[in-house]
């Protein structure tokens, strides 16, 4: 079936998971450990197995697993965002919807073009696409896992009742989700998106810290959004090159052409080019690191901006309540209510400012640490791969020059292929 492998990738997934693409401060606190050890892809839906290990008494069991869908994660995120008490916190960004559109479209095209390519080429491209599919799969699992781990490591959010339900409730959450939708109707989200920039920049800031943060975050967000888009384009180009190499190497692998060309050098080129194919995929994995890093922090910065928005709204509310109080005093009507309202607004605003300051400071620290780790890892990977590639190329050059003996060619090529 071309459209969806329907793979349960248990073992593969665990192995691949050891290379985390984005590093975030994961929960080191052993009292609540969450991970997604397994996931199943069925048609369009991905079913995650959320596994929890805890020493906290608030949970019924010390270890348990539940099946969850992407929509359940979104429900959890939205309820957290709409909880008044958490207005002063940066809510970890919701994981993006699993997007298999790219590889699926390619699979479709491959199926259509099957007649025009050789069996060898078709097999190779299919394998490549399956690997791509697996990579998207792995990525989506990681992103969902990181979301949960961010929550579990947050001292306030990890005590949220809905979070607990999400982790523990062993029935289908879709009923609860529907109720939530009816209550909020996605209204808040729309409001935030459209009023965002205007309100944040329009409000007169009294606090230097927030003034600076506001300027910084607005500017940084647009820059990082641009960088993410450009990094994605780079990754796509790398993939195109890798696909070209596959086509070239499969053409050269064909019996006919190698028998016809029968020259050592061409054999070597052929194997070399197929190594280049691997290089292509490796290069794009590295870039994925960069792209994923940028993409993750772009979303995180959006969450920070949302915090600023909520605070700005609270400030606006407070200013409005002041005006209402003045009006009430002028009219000598409903003064105690107005005073009460003004006090509430002030309290809310102060609470948001205090918690917001803490959140934004720790956010900066988190960001710097993550960038550092990922940039180092990316550079180290680039160096390692370039070294492997260049020593292999060196072997090939020596080899071509050394010998016209064809039976050596095949053997050496095999050995070198195993090196990658």
Partner 1 sequence: MFVLLCFQSGPASLTTEDLSTNANGPKQASLFDDDPDDLFAEATEEVSLDSPDRDVLLSDGPSPAITPMTPPTSVITPRIGHAHDDMFTHSSFDEFCCVLWLNVVFLVPGDGMNAYMAYKVTTKTSMSLFKLREFSVRRRFSDFLGLHSKLASKYLHIGYIVPPAPEKSIVGMTKVKVGKEDQSSNEFVEKRRSALERYLMRTVKHPILLKDPDVLQFLESSELPRAVSTQALSSAGLLRMVNKAADAVNKMTIKMNESDAWFEEKQQHFENLDVQLRKLHASVESLVLHRKELSMNMASFAKSAAMLGNSEDHTALSRALSQLAEVEEKIDQLQQDQANADFYFLSELLGDYVRLITAVKGVFDQRMKTWQKWQDSQMMLQKKREAEAKLQFNNKPDKLQQAKDEIKELEMKVQQGERDFEQISKTIRKEVGRFEKERVKDFKSTVIQYLETLLQTQQQMIKYWEAFLPEAKAIS
Site for partner 1 in 199-228 (CB under 8 A): 216, 219-220, 223-224, 226-227
**113 touching partner 1, by CB under 8 A:** no
Given 403, 417, 418, 420, the residue binding partner 1 (CB under 8 A): 403
Which region, judged by CB under 8 A, interacts with partner 1, from 81-89, 94-102, 168-176, 400-408?
Answer: 400-408
Nearer to partner 1, 157 or 301 (CB): 301
Q: Which long-range contacts (CB under 8 A, 24 or more apart) does 241-247 make?
A: 241/280, 242/128, 242/277, 242/279, 242/280, 242/281, 242/283, 242/284, 243/125, 243/128, 243/280, 245/273, 245/274, 245/276, 245/277, 245/280, 246/121, 246/124, 246/125, 246/128, 246/277, 247/121, 247/125
Q: How far is the CB of 284 from partner 1 (least distance, A)?
A: 11
**Residue 341, interface with partner 1 (CB under 8 A)?**
no
Show contacts with partner 1 in window 233-272 (CB under 8 A).
233-234, 236-238, 240-241, 244-245, 247-248, 251-252, 254-263, 265-269, 272
Nearer Cβ to partner 1, position 49 or 227?
227
The residue among 78 and 121 lying less far from partner 1, judged by its C-beta, is 121
Q: What is the distance between the alpha carbons of residues 407 and 246, in angstroms, rounded to a whole number?
A: 24
Dump the DSSP string for 234-279. HHHHHHHHHHHHHHHHHHHHSHHHHHHH--HHHHHHHHHHHHHHHH
**Contacts for 315 with CB less than 8 Å, ≥ 6 apart:** 203, 349
- Using CB under 8 A, which of the segments 12-20, 34-42, 355-363, 374-382 binds partner 1? 374-382
Closest distance to partner 1 from the beta carbon of 387 (Å): 6
User: Is 122 a residue that touches partner 1 (CB under 8 A)?
Assistant: no
DSSP secondary structure letters along 380-399: HHHHHHHHHHHHHHHHHHHH
Residue 170 sits in the site that holds partner 1 (CB under 8 A): no
8 or 225: whose CB is closer to partner 1?
225
Q: Which of residues 342-371 bind partner 1 (CB under 8 A)?
A: 364, 368, 371
285 binds partner 1 (CB under 8 A): no
Residues touching partner 1: how many (CB under 8 A)? 73
| Ramachandran quadrant class, 43 (left: phi over 0; alpha: psi -120 to 50; beta: rest) | left
Query: Does 40 interact with partner 1 (rule: CB under 8 A)?
Result: no
Closest to partner 1 by CB, 162 vs 403, is 403
Q: Which of 179, 193, 375, 419 binds partner 1 (CB under 8 A)?
A: 375
Q: Rg of the chain over CA atoms, in angstroms? A: 27
Q: In angstroms, rounded to a whole number, what is the distance separating the alpha carbons of residues 205 and 341? A: 21
> Would you count residue 119 as binding partner 1 (CB under 8 A)?
no
- Interface with partner 1 includes 277 (CB under 8 A)? no
């Amino acid at each position: 079936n071309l459209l969806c492998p329907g793979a349960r990738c248990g073992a593969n997934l665990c192995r691949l998971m050891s290379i985390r693409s984005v590093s975030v401060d994961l929960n080191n606190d052993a009292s609540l450990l969450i991970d997604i050890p397994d996931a199943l892809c069925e048609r369009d839906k991905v079913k995650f197995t959320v596994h929890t290990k805890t020493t906290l008494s608030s949970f019924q069991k010390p270890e348990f697993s539940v099946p969850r869908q992407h929509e359940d994660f979104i429900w959890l995120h939205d309820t957290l965002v709409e909880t008044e008490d958490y207005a002063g916190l940066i809510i970890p960004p919701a994981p993006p919807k699993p997007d298999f559109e790219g590889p699926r479209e390619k699979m479709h095209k491959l199926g259509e073009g099957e007649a025009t390519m050789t069996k060898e080429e078709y097999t190779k491209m299919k394998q490549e696409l399956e690997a791509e599919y697996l990579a998207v799969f792995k990525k989506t699992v990681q992103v969902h896992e990181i979301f949960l781990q961010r929550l579990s490591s947050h001292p306030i959010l990890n005590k949220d009742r809905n979070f607990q339900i999400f982790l523990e409730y062993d029935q289908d959450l879709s009923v609860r989700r529907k109720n939530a939708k009816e209550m909020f109707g996605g209204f808040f989200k729309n409001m935030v998106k459209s009023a965002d920039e205007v309100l944040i920049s329009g409000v007169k800031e009294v606090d230097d810290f927030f003034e600076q943060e506001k300027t910084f975050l607005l500017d940084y967000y647009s820059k990082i959004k641009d960088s993410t888009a450009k990094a994605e384009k780079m990754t796509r180009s790398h993939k195109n090159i890798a696909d070209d190499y596959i086509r070239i190497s499969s053409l050269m692998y064909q019996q006919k052409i190698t028998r016809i060309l029968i020259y050592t050098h061409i054999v070597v080129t052929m194997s070399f080019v197929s190594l280049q194919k691997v290089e292509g995929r490796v290069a794009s994995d590295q870039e994925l690191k960069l792209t994923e890093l940028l993409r993750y922090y772009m979303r995180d910065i959006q969450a920070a901006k949302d915090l600023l928005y909520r605070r700005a709204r609270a400030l606006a509310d407070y200013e409005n309540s002041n005006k209402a109080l003045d009006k009430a005093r002028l009219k000598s009507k409903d003064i105690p209510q107005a005073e009460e309202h003004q006090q509430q607004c002030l309290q809310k605003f102060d609470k948001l400012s205090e918690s917001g300051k803490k959140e934004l400071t720790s956010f900066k620290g988190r960001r710097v640490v993550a960038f550092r780790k990922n940039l180092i890892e990316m550079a180290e990977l680039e160096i390692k791969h370039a070294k492997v590639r260049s020593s292999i190329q060196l072997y090939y050059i020596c080899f071509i020059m050394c010998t016209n003996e064809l039976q050596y060619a095949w053997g050496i090529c095999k050995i070198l292929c195993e090196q990658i």
